[in-house]
Structure 1
Amino acid sequence: MTDIIPRPFDGQPLGDTLSGDLGAGSPAHAWHFHGRLDAIAGTLLSGWVLSTASPHAPVALRVAAGRAEATILPDREAPALSRLLGQPVRCRFAVDLAALFPGVDLTGLPVSVRVAESGQLLENAPQTVAGPRAVVAHVDRMEGQRILGWAVNTQDEGEAVEVEVLVDGHPIARIVANQQRRDLLARFTTCDHGFESAVPGLSGTELSLRDRRSGAVVFGPIPIVLDEVRASRSGALADRLDGLAALLEEIRTDLPRQRRLAAYPIADYAAYHREHGAETAGRRARLAPRAAALGQDGPLFSVVMPVCDPPLWMLAEAIESVRRQLYGRWELCIADDASRSDAVRALLRDESARDSRIRVSFAAARQGVCAATNRAIGLAGGDYVAFLDHDDRLSFDALLRMAEAIGESRAPVLYSDEDRIAPDGRHVDPALKPDLDPELLQSVNHVCHLLVVKRALLGELGGLRPGFEGVQDHDLVLRLLERVGAAGIRHVPRVLYHWRINPSSLSGQGGNDAAILDGIGRCVREHLARLGRRATVTADLETFRASGGLFHARVRPALPCPAPMVSIVVPTKDAVDLVRDCVGSLLSRTVYPNFEVVLVDHDSAEPQSRPFFNTLARDPRVRVADFHGPFNWAAINNAAAAGCRGDVLCFLNNDIVVTEPDWLSEMVGRLAQPGVGAVGAKLLYPNGTVQHAGVVLGAGGTADHAFAGLPGDAPGHLGQAILPRTVSAVTGACLVTSRTAFQAVGGFDMVHLPVAYADVDYCLKIQQAGLRVLWTPYARLLHLETQTRGADDTAEKAARLAVEAGRLRARWGGLSADPFYNPHFEPLGPTYGLLRPQPD
Structure 2
Amino acid sequence: MTHTALATHIQGHITQLAGNMVQGWVHDESAPQQQWAVAIMADGQLLALANADQYHPAAPGTGMHGFKVMLSDTQIQHSSAISLTLANHRQVLDTLRLPAQPMAEHTDASSRVQWQPGLTLRGWLVEPEAPHTALGVSAYEGERPVASAKPSRWTNHHNQYVQAAFTLTLPLSMANGEPHELTIKDSQGRELSGSPLVVHEWPQGLAPWVTQLVPKLPSHVHQLLKKQLDRYEQWLPRAVGFNDYPAWQKAFAPTASPRVTQPGTIGLLWLGEPTPQAAPAGKNPWGKQLKVRHYVLNPAEQGKDDASYQALLSEACQACDAVAQLESGDTLAENALALAWNALQEGGTQLVYSDFDMPEADMSVADSQARQPACLPAWDPERQWGQDYLGGGLCLVRSDLLKEAAHPATCFEEFSYAAIEALHAAGQPESAVVHLPEILRQRAKPWPQLTSDAQLARQQARLQRQDAHATLSRHEQQPGLYRLQRSLEQWPSVTLVIPTRDALALLRRCIDTLLEHTDYPGHVQLLVVDNNSQHPETHEYLARLRQRQAQPLGRGRVTFQVLEYPHPFNYAAINNAAVEQCDSELIALVNNDIEALHPEWLCNMAALLMRQGTGAVGAKLLWPNGMVQHGGVLGGQYGGLAGHIGNSWEAHDAGYLGMNQLTQRFSAVTAACLLLRRADYHAVGGLDDRAFPVAFNDVDLCLKLRRLGLNILWTPEARLIHAESATRGKDEAPEKAARAQREMDNLRNRWSTALLTDPAYNPNLGLDIAAAPYTTLALPPRTRTARTNALKR
CA deviation after TM superposition for structure 1 residue 441, in Å: 1.6
- The match for 2:293 is 333
- The match for 2:586 is 648
CA deviation after TM superposition for structure 1 residue 578, in Å: 0.7
- The match for 1:222 is none
Can you list the C-alpha shifts for 1:486-511, whole angstroms capped at 9, x where unaligned? Answer: 2110000110111113xxxxx4997x
- The match for 2:188 is none
The alignment partner of 1:474 has SS state of: helix
Out of 609, 617, 627, the position equivalent to 2:546 is: 617
Structure 1 residues 334-373: aligned runs within 5 Å = 334-337=294-297, 370-371=309-310, 373=312
Matched-pair contact (CA < 8 Å) for 2:531–2:566? yes
- The match for 1:534 is 469
Return the alpha-carbon distance in structure 2 between the equivalents of residues 401 and 646 of structure 1. 50
Structure 1 residues 417-428: aligned runs within 5 Å = 417-421=355-359, 426=369, 428=371
Return the alpha-carbon distance in structure 1 between the equivalents of residues 715 and 399 of structure 2. 35
Length-normalised TM-score, structure 1: 0.62
Structure 1 824/646 Cα, relative in aligned 2: closer, same or farther at 3 Å? same
Q: Which residue identity lines up with residue 252 of structure 2 in the other structure?
A: H
| Pairing 1:592–2:520 present | yes
- The match for 1:8 is none
Matched-pair contact (CA < 8 Å) for 2:483–2:663? no
Structure 1 residues 436-447: aligned runs within 5 Å = 436-447=379-390
Matched-pair contact (CA < 8 Å) for 2:317–2:400? no
CA deviation after TM superposition for structure 1 residue 786, in Å: 0.4
| Pairing 1:638–2:566 present | no
| Pairing 1:834–2:776 present | yes
CA deviation after TM superposition for structure 1 residue 530, in Å: 1.9
Structure 1 residues 433-472: aligned runs within 5 Å = 433-448=376-391, 449-461=393-405, 464-466=408-410, 468-472=411-415
Structure 1 718/509 Cα, relative in aligned 2: closer, same or farther at 3 Å? closer
Out of 749, 753, 772, the position equivalent to 2:688 is: 749
Structure 1 660/378 Cα, relative in aligned 2: closer, same or farther at 3 Å? closer
Q: Which residue identity lines up with residue 699 of structure 2 in the other structure?
A: V
Matched-pair contact (CA < 8 Å) for 1:393–1:497? yes
Matched-pair contact (CA < 8 Å) for 1:318–1:390? no
Structure 1 residues 55-454: aligned runs within 5 Å = 157-158=203-204, 195=215, 197=217, 259-260=237-238, 263-277=239-253, 284=255, 287-288=256-257, 291=258, 294=259, 297-308=261-272, 310=273, 315-320=275-280, 323=283, 329-337=289-297, 370-371=309-310, 373-378=312-317, 380-381=319-320, 383-421=321-359, 426=369, 428-448=371-391, 449-454=393-398
Q: Which residue identity lines up with residue 389 of structure 2 in the other structure?
A: H
Q: Which residue identity lines up with residue 629 of structure 1 in the other structure?
A: H
Matched-pair contact (CA < 8 Å) for 1:434–1:820? yes
Structure 1 428/329 Cα, relative in aligned 2: closer, same or farther at 3 Å? farther
- The match for 1:241 is none
Return the alpha-carbon distance in structure 1 between the equivalents of residues 509 and 622 of structure 2. 15
Matched-pair contact (CA < 8 Å) for 1:520–1:553? no
Structure 1 686/421 Cα, relative in aligned 2: closer, same or farther at 3 Å? closer
Q: Which residue identity lines up with residue 395 of structure 2 in the other structure?
A: L
Structure 1 565/271 Cα, relative in aligned 2: closer, same or farther at 3 Å? same
| Pairing 1:628–2:571 present | no
Can you list the C-alpha shifts for 1:403-444, whole angstroms capped at 9, x where unaligned? Answer: 442454451211100112578773612221111111112222
Structure 1 719/747 Cα, relative in aligned 2: closer, same or farther at 3 Å? same
- The match for 2:438 is 494
Structure 1 566/109 Cα, relative in aligned 2: closer, same or farther at 3 Å? closer
Q: Which residue identity lines up with residue 444 of structure 1 in the other structure?
A: Q
Structure 1 109/497 Cα, relative in aligned 2: closer, same or farther at 3 Å? farther
Structure 1 437/191 Cα, relative in aligned 2: closer, same or farther at 3 Å? farther
Structure 1: runs of 5+ lacking an equivalent = 1-107, 111-127, 137-153, 159-179, 200-228, 230-243, 278-282, 341-361, 502-506
Return the alpha-carbon distance in structure 2 between the equivalents of residues 630 and 367 of structure 1. 68
Q: Which residue identity lines up with residue 652 of structure 1 in the other structure?
A: V
Can you list the C-alpha shifts for 1:211-244, whole angstroms capped at 9, x where unaligned? Answer: xxxxxxxxxxxxxxxxxx9xxxxxxxxxxxxxx9
Return the alpha-carbon distance in structure 2 between the equivalents of residues 831 and 570 of structure 1. 30
Out of 786, 804, 820, the position equivalent to 2:760 is: 820
Structure 1 573/465 Cα, relative in aligned 2: closer, same or farther at 3 Å? same
The alignment partner of 1:529 has SS state of: helix
Structure 1 194/687 Cα, relative in aligned 2: closer, same or farther at 3 Å? farther
Structure 1 618/463 Cα, relative in aligned 2: closer, same or farther at 3 Å? closer
Q: Which residue identity lines up with residue 377 of structure 1 in the other structure?
A: A
The alignment partner of 1:838 has SS state of: coil
- The match for 1:675 is 613
Can you list the C-alpha shifts for 1:242-273, whole angstroms capped at 9, x where unaligned? Answer: xx9xxx99x96x987x745xx22224433432
Matched-pair contact (CA < 8 Å) for 1:568–1:649? yes
Structure 1 470/130 Cα, relative in aligned 2: closer, same or farther at 3 Å? closer
Q: Which has the higher contact order (CA 8 A, sep 6+)?
A: 2
- The match for 2:652 is 713
Structure 1 residues 669-818: aligned runs within 5 Å = 669-701=607-639, 702-814=641-753, 815-818=755-758
Structure 1 490/610 Cα, relative in aligned 2: closer, same or farther at 3 Å? same
Matched-pair contact (CA < 8 Å) for 1:536–1:557? yes
Structure 2: runs of 5+ lacking an equivalent = 1-143, 147-170, 180-199, 550-558, 785-793
Return the alpha-carbon distance in structure 2 between the equivalents of residues 368 and 718 of structure 1. 33
Matched-pair contact (CA < 8 Å) for 2:525–2:560? yes
- The match for 1:573 is 501
Matched-pair contact (CA < 8 Å) for 1:317–1:393? yes
Length-normalised TM-score, structure 2: 0.65
Structure 1 556/647 Cα, relative in aligned 2: closer, same or farther at 3 Å? same
Can you list the C-alpha shifts for 1:361-412, whole angstroms capped at 9, x where unaligned? Answer: x99x97677336415515633x333333332111002123224424544512
Matched-pair contact (CA < 8 Å) for 2:691–2:746? yes
Return the alpha-carbon distance in structure 1 between the equivalents of residues 703 and 276 of structure 2. 49
Q: Which residue identity lines up with residue 617 of structure 1 in the other structure?
A: R
CA deviation after TM superposition for structure 1 residue 624, in Å: 0.9
Q: Which residue identity lines up with residue 776 of structure 2 in the other structure?
A: L
Q: Which moved more, 1:404-413 or 1:758-767?
A: 404-413
CA deviation after TM superposition for structure 1 residue 471, in Å: 4.0
The alignment partner of 2:373 has SS state of: strand
Return the alpha-carbon distance in structure 2 between the equivalents of residues 454 and 395 of structure 1. 21
Matched-pair contact (CA < 8 Å) for 1:603–1:627? yes
Return the alpha-carbon distance in structure 1 between the equivalents of residues 644 and 352 of structure 2. 28
CA deviation after TM superposition for structure 1 residue 129, in Å: 14
- The match for 2:22 is none
Structure 1 536/405 Cα, relative in aligned 2: closer, same or farther at 3 Å? closer
Q: Which residue identity lines up with residue 306 of structure 1 in the other structure?
A: W
Matched-pair contact (CA < 8 Å) for 1:327–1:400? no
Return the alpha-carbon distance in structure 2 between the equivalents of residues 770 and 327 of structure 1. 42
CA deviation after TM superposition for structure 1 residue 743, in Å: 1.3
Q: Which residue identity lines up with residue 756 of structure 1 in the other structure?
A: A
Matched-pair contact (CA < 8 Å) for 2:474–2:481? yes
Matched-pair contact (CA < 8 Å) for 2:526–2:560? yes
